[in-house]
Structure 1
Amino acid sequence: MSRSSVPARRSADAQEDAWVADEDRFVLQQARKKAAIRAKNGRAQPVDWLTVILAVIDPERNPLDDELEDGELEVMDPEAVFESLDETQLVELEKKIDTLQILESSRSNRDYWTMMKTICRDRRNHAREGSSTRGITNVVSDLDKLLKPKTLAELEKLERQVNAKLASTEPVDTDYWEQLLKSLLTYKAKAKLRGISRSILDSRLGGLRKKQALDAEALRTRLASRPVAQLAAPKIIDGRHELDPEPLLRLRPEDKALQTYDAASFTQQVLQERQAVLKAGYVPNLKRSSDDKEASLAKRMKLGTEDSARSLSVAYDRELARGLGEDEEIFTTEEDVVTKNKHLWADKHRPRKPQYFNRVSLGFEWNKYNQTHYDQDNPPPKVVQGYKFNIFYPDLVDKSRAPTYRIVRENGRRRGETTAPAGEDDTCLIHFIAGAPYEDIAFRIVDKEWDYSAKRDRGFQSSFDKGVLKLQFQFKRYTTASNTT
């Protein structure tokens, strides 16, 4: 090999390394987006919760790469993620942690996944323990009592003391101290995670308190501007307020079957239920309305047992399992839109936004300019070439009328007209309408002519089946004979 070829080979290797790094960065970014979407919809897997936690605490994260803002993300106590997993699930989780750790380029993020793997392996060890390991279990129990209450600083101090004791020449119980040193790694990881949880919780609670204070002040201002009505004194008859219900002289038949509690047992039950809630480790979400909170809680606690909820879950899982094509990205940017005739049914049905899983197709446009200035080795920037919409309506009241869509162009612009500056595309709104109990939903898309052909890879599809509205289209391509794509 000549000396002149060495720099060229190094340059090629550097380009290949850069390409691999960009590919890893893209795969990691898509994994984070999917995790955030599943967490928002109450469908997160254990690895999704861990990914969302990292997204919240990662100081190097670019907010522009995220689908959701920090205040919109659901967050779960990291230790609670491992709580109910069996050994098989822990093995699967550890494999996914390894995959994400390999993709990470940030040292702090790799350390985060190392902590998670440490706890995962510790849980696996506990899951394998049985009655035959009674002696070891007693040692582990003693270590847990010793190490669990300690802070990270105390654990690090103890680690130094143990290393010094093992390095000394004095006679010691080597097995015990080595087991203690090994256990310290796990408890240090848990202590770090508790610190992460506390920082996230304190931040969310601080924001929530500020929001509540602002809401209270706004309400106080509104009430102060209202005229004070003269209230009549309540009537008291035989020691009872006039609005008190009539006293029951006997139990109703349906109440006789209810379990009775004394004060002590009722208090104990409330304490147990509170502990169950605290153990779940959820962190408040600042941007969720009260109705959304109830819906999200129901999803997390798996209370949705209706057929519609199951069908929605299956349909959503099916779309999620298909993943993204080579030139596809998740598309979730909504636009504000008014739901017409909502007042006709809002008092009977709780209005809600439909769930969706949308993709945008990207590709190269080989027009004359791009063919002149670019080639296959140095391609032009990718442009939007089409969309795939999947809107879920499992609880549609009037199932005889399928949801539909329409295109809305602003400022009086008509189809085919162009008002965008040179080098930019016109945009429009695609507006989806379904009816009760769903509010309308809209997305801003590129306004180009659709390809209505029946080609398999680029064909137009529009259907409504099993509660899912599917709309897929690509834009027409205008190429020259010299196009090599």
Structure 2
Amino acid sequence: MDSGAMRRGGQPRSSIPAKRSAADAQEDAWVADEDRFVLKQAKKKAIIRARAGRADPIDLLAVTLRALDATKNGYDSDDDDQELPAVDPEAVFEGLDDIQLEELDKGIDTYLALEQSRSNRDFWNTMKVICKDRRRAAPGKLQTARGMSSVTPEIDRLLAPKTHEQLETLEKQVKAKLRSNDDIDVDYWENLLKSLSIYKAKARLRQVSKSVVGARLETLRQQQEQEALVLRNQVREKLNSASLAGTGEQLPVPESHVALDPEPLLRLNPEDKALISLDEDDFKQKLLQDRRRILKLGYIPTRHGAKTSSTDIAVPSEQKRDDMSRVTSALYDREAARGFNDNEEAFNAEEDVSSGRPKWADTYRPRKPRYFNRVQMGYEWNKYNQTHYDHENLPPKVVQGYKFNIFYPDLVDSTKAPTFRIERENGRKRGESFAPAGAEDTCLIRFIAGPPYEDIAFRIVDKEWDYSAKRERGFRSSFDKGILQLHFQFKKIYYRK
């Protein structure tokens, strides 16, 4: 044994630290591989849910990151981006309540714990700052900083218009100001420094939104150029073959060219005479209003030729034949992106109702509105269930409420909100029950709007509604931005033990 392998005193050196170091390195490598696998599975599940139209907000952010990540780090390379929804990340945070924001915050933490890519971590850190800011700004959250109520508008006017680079420069100046010995309002400058991180994240989010829209538009432009090139070559081949096959005789004019004769176009068809005529100024004004509405919806164009996944949300055939305008589709997709809570299921129990031919049918094409409804299910612990069931052997679920979201973006008179009414068959009145033992009475809820929409009805359980405005009861009846929302739960019956 050489002297280098001997300790002082003639004892051999221990190899345990070296073995332990190698074991630790092997364990670290194994943990890293496991994290990469979990991350890849999480992203894959997000893509599957997005394609099926049941993505949560965290899934939409993961899909957005795929569009921005040129290396496709953690994503399957064989996934087709054209099949995925193009989502403006700013719109993901819109309309989320505090509970949804808290769930989104936890999802962001999960991705931050798994991501190794620096650019991807920067993305999730930005989303986390925005999420925390939205939670702080939620109703009921009070600002406790001294003078916050008077300083906030001033800070917003100062920071909101600035770019990310300008904000970084300003951050350095503020830090230098606080390190100086000048006589300054320390609270104001410290509050400004804290706000800078939020506004930097907002500026970064604007850059991400611009990149997502720009990437989708560039893809569409390239696809249109390709299609135009193919069509041009096809037309050129037809012209060449026609000239080669010619025998000196004049080629017949195709029927498609005859149809372009201007004479018939100068005569209006009878059905066109009933259409509303607009002068140029009114038409431009209406076009401007429609464009503003689209911009508020955060709509991002998608290619019409994209394939539809077989796992898409099932849409009733009646809806597929009716209102499929772009605005309606955007409203539908946004509502579908909210997903379902644990106690919710999709509700499509549409009933055929005959309301006769509307008086306005000659002027507007009647159509059924689209909808995205949910039914709330739960357990009812009445005396029978308390006797025969427990928390390990649960009773059958019963209907506890509904959430109706009916889309009316194209109402001719948008000042008149759609209404609804309850219809009971066979002369049954409210509170009466004709159902046999063990069954529940049902009724129709009919939604009524003006042109161009027909009535639409659904069969629901006929129980007493809880009109409480408390958050956990969640009653809502509103019409805003083309969406009629009617959310209600049934009154709970409490049984004494």
- Alignment TM-score, normalising by the size of structure 2: 0.51
What is the rounded CA distance, in whole Å, between the counterparts of 1:223 and 1:59 in structure 2? Answer: 37
Provide, for residues 311-365 of structure 1, a one-character-per-residue CA deviation record: whole Å limited to 9, x for no partner.
xxx899xxxxxxxxxxxxxxxxxxxxxxxxxxxxxxxxxxxxxxxxxxxxxxxxx
RMSD: 4.3
- The one-letter code sitting in structure 1 at the alignment partner of 2:268 is D
| Pairing 1:301–2:313 present | no
- 2:108–2:124: 8 Å Cα contact kept in structure 1? yes
Q: Do the aligned partners of 2:217 and 2:301 also contact (CA within 8 Å) in 1? A: yes
Pairwise CA distance, 1:243: 4.4
Cα distance in 1 for partners of 2:187, 2:177 equals: 12
Distance change >3 Å, CA 150–CA 30, structure 1 → 2: same
Of 180, 183, 194, the match for 1:182: 194
In structure 2, the residue matched to 1:48 is 59
Is the CA contact (8 Å cut-off) linking 1:36 and 1:67 kept in structure 2?
A: no
Correspondence for 2:131 among 120, 132, 146 = 120
After superposing the two structures, state which structure 1 stretch, 65-74 or 185-194, moved more: 65-74
Q: 1:289 aligns with which of 296, 299, 306?
A: 306
After superposition, the Cα gap between the structure-2 partners of 1:262 and 1:158, relative to the gap in structure 1 and judged at 3 Å, is: farther
Q: Are 1:208 and 2:225 matched, yes or no?
A: no
Range with bigger deviation, 115-124 or 284-293: 284-293
Following superposition, the deviation at residue 117 of structure 1 comes to 0.7
Contact 2:101 2:135 survives alignment (8 Å):
yes
Contact 1:33 1:67 in 2 (8 A): no
Amino acid at match of 1:190: K
**Structure 2 counterpart of 1:164, from 173, 176, 181:** 176
For residues 52-451 of structure 1, the aligned pairs below 5 Å read: 52-62=63-73, 65-66=76-77, 68-128=79-139, 136-224=148-236, 225=238, 230=253, 234=261, 241=265, 243-246=267-270, 271-286=288-303, 288-289=305-306, 301-302=331-332
* C-alpha deviation, 1:7, in angstroms: 2.1
SS at match of 2:181: coil
TM-aligned CA deviation for residue 285 of structure 1: 4.1
**Matched residues in 1 for 2:205 and 2:216: separation?**
17
SS in 1 for 2:138: helix
CA contact (8 A) 1:71 1:287 kept: no
CA distance in 2, matches of 1:229, 1:179: 79
Which letter does structure 2 place at the counterpart of 1:87?
A: D
What CA distance in whole angstroms lies between the structure 2 residues aligned with 1:264 and 1:138? 44
Work out the CA distance in 2 between the residues paired with 1:120 and 1:30.
Answer: 24
Alignment-derived partner of residue 38 in structure 1:
49
Deviation at 1:289, TM superposition (A): 3.4
SS in 1 for 2:269: coil
The number of residues matched between the two structures is 302
Percent same amino acid at aligned positions? 44
Q: Deviations over 1:408-428 (max 9, x none)?
A: xxxxxxxxxxxxxxxxxxxxx
Relative to structure 1, the CA distance from residue 50 to residue 248 in structure 2 (aligned partners, 3 Å threshold; closer, same or farther) is closer
Of residues 37, 56, 62, the one that matches 1:26 is 37
In the TM superposition, residue 300 of structure 1 has moved relative to its aligned partner by 5.4
Pair 291,98 (structure 1): closer, same or farther in 2 beyond 3 Å: closer
Deviations along 1:222-243, one digit per CA (max 9) or x if unpaired, are 345266754569575xxx8464
**CA distance in structure 1 between the aligned counterparts of 2:308 and 2:47, rounded to whole angstroms:** 20
Range with greater deviation from structure 2 (208-217 or 28-37) = 208-217
Q: Residue by residue, what CA displacement relative to the aligned partner does 1:292-326 show, whole Å, maximum 9, x if unpaired?
A: 996998665327999xx99xxx899xxxxxxxxxx
- For residue 82 of structure 1, report the CA deviation from its aligned partner: 0.8
Q: Which runs of 5+ in 2 are unaligned?
A: 1-12, 243-250, 313-323, 347-497
Residues 401-455 of structure 1, C-alpha deviation per residue, up to 9 Å, x if partnerless?
xxxxxxxxxxxxxxxxxxxxxxxxxxxxxxxxxxxxxxxxxxxxxxxxxxxxxxx
Q: Report SS of the residue matched to 2:183.
A: coil
Whole-angstrom distance in 2 between the partners of 1:304 and 1:107 = 30
Partner residue of 2:359? none
Relative to 1, partners in 2 of residues 1:248 and 1:38: Cα closer, same or farther, differing over 3 Å? closer
Give the 3-state SS of the residue equivalent to 1:24 in structure 2: helix
State the SS of the aligned residue for 2:220.
helix
SS in 2 for 1:127: coil
1:170 partner letter? D
Alignment match, 2:478:
none
Q: Which amino acid aligns with 1:201?
A: V
Instruction: Determine helix, strand or coil for the equivalent of 1:65.
Output: coil
Check conservation: 1:58, 1:109, Cα contact below 8 A: yes
Say if 1:119 and 1:209 are closer, same or farther in 2 by CA, change over 3 A: same
Which amino acid is 1:277 matched to? I
User: Which amino acid counterpart does residue 244 of structure 1 have in structure 2?
Assistant: L
Partner of 1:347: none
Which stretch of the first structure deviates more once superposed, 69-78 or 174-183? 69-78
CA spacing shift, 1:213–1:229, aligned 2, 3 Å: farther
Preserved CA contact (<8 Å) 2:57 2:104: yes
Give distance in 2, aligned partners of 1:190 and 1:89. 20
Larger Rg: 2
